[in-house]
Structure 1
Amino acid sequence: MAIVALLVLFLALLPIIHLLLTKQRSSSKRLPPGSLGLPIIGQSLGLLRAMQASTGEQWLEGRIKRYGPISKLSLFGAPTIFLTGPAANKFIFMNEALVPQQPSSLTRILGKRTIIELVGKDHKRVRAAVMQFLKPDVLKNYVGKIDREVRHHLKMNWIGRQTVTVLPLMKGLTFDIICSLIFGLERGPLREGLGKDCADMLAGMWAVPLNLPFTHFGKSLRASHRARKVLTRITRERRAMVAQGQVSSSEDLITHLLTLGGEDGTNGLTDEEIVDNAMLVLVAGHDTSSTLMTFMMRHLANDQVTYAAVVHEQEEIAKSKAPGEALTWDDLYKMKYTWRVALEILRMIPPLFGSFRRALKDVEFDGYLIPKGWQVFWASSITHMDANIFQEPCKFDPTRFENQSSIPPYCFVAFGSGLRICPGSEFARIETLVTMHYLATRFKWRLCCKDDAFVRDPMPSPTQGLPVELEPKNKEQLMIVK
């Protein structure tokens, strides 16, 4: 069986091998410095080992010292150009000839019609539809709904417990928020089943795409089929309800997308596009915000000065609320310091280590050729930890973000930038601030283990999921949950 799997993998990678060999011969005079290494393997294992040892940034810095800010290498079976610096970031984010390049395993799990896969007019059409729902003017109407999900989650999973493991709980919370706000899916067996399928999908997104019963990818693909079946059924039910005028466009994301365009649907989205992008939101929103909130708790446990400032800000807001009253958009606007803490976490430990683009045609940068079909790799930590941009970059300092206009463009790129900047950044801000408000005003916490290191796989994950000891601040207040 192992021999068969290796043979299948070899045959699948033959086109990549051919690309490596032909492009190296035809373009070697104008390519950046560096080495493609061994076919298929290239430098992939070295980067993955470094990420798992939390030394990915040092690995990249070593390349920069050796080759400069632009170099060639081979990552995950494809020839790659690694670019660094603000000018490189601008070139990557604003160039329509460079489109996101995702592992084939991820595309097969999420679908081909997501906003990270589409290009040109299709990308602009679908992205504009999704962005209409995720813009601040719309999301501010959902603060109360997110507030209820957070308080219910704390009541069921935090209150009355002496210890909790933060990361899995945060993932459960963000999943529940997505189900409620994006899919309009209430608590129950259907939501629980979708949650299990989501976890199974994540396990195989960065795996060798061999659809065999014993592989991570095979298990993830089966979970994807189950999740897609649920979301397809929800989409068809919502479409019928929209046609009968039984729901409003503000009900949830799926309903919103169904109401766009003319009656003939020519300007709207197809069911495939709605389901594929719902799958993307399910996965993307599940991992990134939960990681941010986990690392905020981790840092605040070790930094009593910052913790005290966050608590003070949140308690001042809590004083203005009646018992059991939900947070509002105006309350979130007052949480300026807490959000600066979040931004500083994102600067120092960005959930997304880096990402890939693919060249649709030959393009040039800084006098070097990036051949058509090659990958372009960028990493956020290069500018985030540059002392020329952020003074004393290893020092945790939320005041850096008091005046964000003072930060040079294309340097803080935790949400990306340009044409494909993360459409869910405002959504992430809301759920993060609501969650941290209730944690800071209702609990004190201490880390259970001395080792608070983390690894990347590919998201940062604290040792043991970050177990903490909880101490309630006010037992009577904790029980006030709608």
Structure 2
Amino acid sequence: MDHLLIVVALIVTASSIGIHLVTRAKKPCLANLPPGSFGLPVIGQTVSIIRAMRGNTTDRWIRDRVQRYGPVSKLSLFSMPTVLLAGPAANKFMFFSSLLPVMQIRSTKRIIGEKSLLSIHGDDHRRIRGALMEFLKPDMLKLYISRIDAEVRHHLEENWVGRTAVTVLPLMKRLTLGIISSLLFGLERGAVRDALAIDFTCILEGALAIPVNLPFTAFSRSIKARRRAERLLNGIMRERKAMLEQGKVSPNNDLISRLVSMTDDHGEQLLSSDEIIDNCILALIAGHDTTSILMTFMVRHLGNDPATLAAMVQEHEEIAKDKADGEALTWEDLSKMKFTWRVAQETLRIVPPVVGGFRTALEDIEFDGYLIPKGWQVFWTANETHMDPSIFHDPAKFDPSRFENALASAPPCSFVAFGGGPRICPGREFAKIEILVTMHNLVRHFRWKLCYKENTFIRDPMPSPLHGLPIQLEHMTSL
């Protein structure tokens, strides 16, 4: 998707709104507003930051702005008056403030739904997040390791074994979609899962598109795909309810079974059907791209770092030596993969899948002596702390050992790959299991060479390596 075209369209369709908001925002309390400039009317700094993302210079763009204006500055992004907050203290303030809920662009909100965790706050957010965490907490996830292991093995047998070359990113996306379809929706391999995969591609294309519902637009195709996915999930919910009542399935079978089985103090279903569907679609989107991108960049780094790869292989061979051929991994096995998880964290530090995000001020807020007016959006970025040499020594160097002591020496909210505060990513433990299980099977059975040595990538808006990371593949041992 070409985001520059999106920007142009946004300029045309939102210009009057943007001018009104920006000019109105300049009037009150000018002395207390952060330093900075709104730039050109309506356009602001939108084109500039998108160019930086696509040119792999986002770090420099943020750094230059912070050096010029400080850690708090005003600008205009997507026709909205915006405050950029940078640094550990700013991250902590934003993550823990109840007056700064997550902001979604209109198209994303339409596609994911009004009842998702991204769209709600307060008591509803706590209720729905609590319900999701009943499935995503470690004690529950222990039950699913063998199923994830089976999905990974099947994927590698089907898509990697016997090949001399593969392109990593699309395969990692296929793998994570398969795991999510199984564990969240209880879908086995077959036509229904394949149809969901096609619809999911359409849903993603429209989530960041111009919200114009005309037949030829990506947004229109995404809305139709969302409706098909909604019908599928409604059917699964009805089926699970019937099977639960008949004792044919456990509430622990998958996320939908868990959610439809939960009741409130009055014996009523805790979450409405709309809440379940919207948050299942959110989980599908959130758990798909971020994990697949992280594993892709781990493969890319290991292709250029024989020492790190050798250390990972040794760790996983030690775990495998006492297991029978084909025996599934266990929670105890995963607890021994400490070096692999440090490699994953270091990859997240250097190439965070989500470069930052937006919040909205529900009322006038003060931070560091500056006013953030009600209705303004607040932009936070992971890059500023992740690449700060005062926090992470020699930040451009790949060094997994910096995570050995769980960042004991770093200020709170410095490593923010999963966000922070009450809205910290609820699926981070689920993602950790996917990553560790996949890397265990990958490094034990395959070796690879990168077809392109360049460490470049673009953000669109998530990072994508050159040509999807094609590699030459060598199969070492049978799965």
Normalising by structure 2, report the TM-score: 0.95
Supply the AA of the counterpart residue of 1:276.
D
- Residue 411 of structure 1 corresponds to 414
Deviation, 1:210, is: 1.3
Supply the AA of the counterpart residue of 1:472.
H
Structure 1 residues 116-168: Cα deviation after superposition (integer angstroms, max 9, x where no partner): 11110000000000011101011011000000000000010000000000000
- Residue 376 of structure 2 corresponds to 374
Supply the AA of the counterpart residue of 2:286.
A
Structure 1 residues 405-429: Cα deviation after superposition (integer angstroms, max 9, x where no partner): 3332110000011110000000010
Supply the AA of the counterpart residue of 2:395.
P
| Residue in structure 1 matching 2:273, options 268, 271, 274 | 271
- Residue 433 of structure 1 corresponds to 436
Q: Which whole-Å CA distance do the structure 2 matches of 1:140 and 1:446 have between them?
A: 34
- Does residue 1:23 correspond to 2:25, yes or no? yes
Q: Which whole-Å CA distance do the structure 2 matches of 1:211 and 1:218 have between them?
A: 5
Deviation, 1:14, is: 3.8
User: Would the alpha carbon gap of residues 129 and 146 (structure 1) be closer, same or farther in structure 2, given more than 3 Å must change?
Assistant: same
- Residue 65 of structure 2 corresponds to 63
| Residue in structure 1 matching 2:172, options 170, 173, 177 | 170
| Residue in structure 1 matching 2:194, options 183, 192, 195 | 192
Deviation, 1:244, is: 3.4
User: Would the alpha carbon gap of residues 265 and 111 (structure 1) be closer, same or farther in structure 2, given more than 3 Å must change?
Assistant: farther
Normalising by structure 1, report the TM-score: 0.95
- Kindly, what percent of the aligned residue pairs are identical? 56
- Residue 109 of structure 2 corresponds to 107
- Residue 299 of structure 2 corresponds to 297
- Residue 444 of structure 1 corresponds to 447
Deviation, 1:259, is: 1.2
- Residue 5 of structure 2 corresponds to none
| Residue in structure 1 matching 2:258, options 251, 256, 269 | 256
Q: Which whole-Å CA distance do the structure 2 matches of 1:51 and 1:11 have between them?
A: 23
Deviation, 1:208, is: 1.7
- Residue 40 of structure 2 corresponds to 38
Q: Which whole-Å CA distance do the structure 2 matches of 1:33 and 1:39 have between them?
A: 17
Deviation, 1:8, is: 9.8
Counterpart secondary structure, 1:100? coil
- Does residue 1:357 correspond to 2:359, yes or no? yes
Q: Which whole-Å CA distance do the structure 1 matches of 2:277 and 2:209 have between them?
A: 23
- Residue 86 of structure 2 corresponds to 84
Q: Which whole-Å CA distance do the structure 2 matches of 1:385 and 1:215 have between them?
A: 38
Counterpart secondary structure, 1:225? helix
CA-atom RMSD in angstroms = 1.7
Counterpart secondary structure, 2:385? helix
Q: Which whole-Å CA distance do the structure 2 matches of 1:469 and 1:227 have between them?
A: 36
The answer for unaligned runs of 5 or more in structure 1 is 1-5
- Residue 147 of structure 1 corresponds to 149
Q: Which whole-Å CA distance do the structure 2 matches of 1:458 and 1:175 have between them?
A: 19
Q: Which whole-Å CA distance do the structure 2 matches of 1:213 and 1:30 have between them?
A: 47
CA contact (8 A) 1:9 1:210 kept: no
- After superposition, residues 301-320 of structure 1 pair within 5 angstroms as 301-320=303-322
Counterpart secondary structure, 2:142? helix
Counterpart secondary structure, 1:213? coil
- Does residue 1:463 correspond to 2:466, yes or no? yes
Counterpart secondary structure, 1:373? coil
Deviation, 1:279, is: 0.2
User: Would the alpha carbon gap of residues 50 and 8 (structure 1) be closer, same or farther in structure 2, given more than 3 Å must change?
Assistant: closer
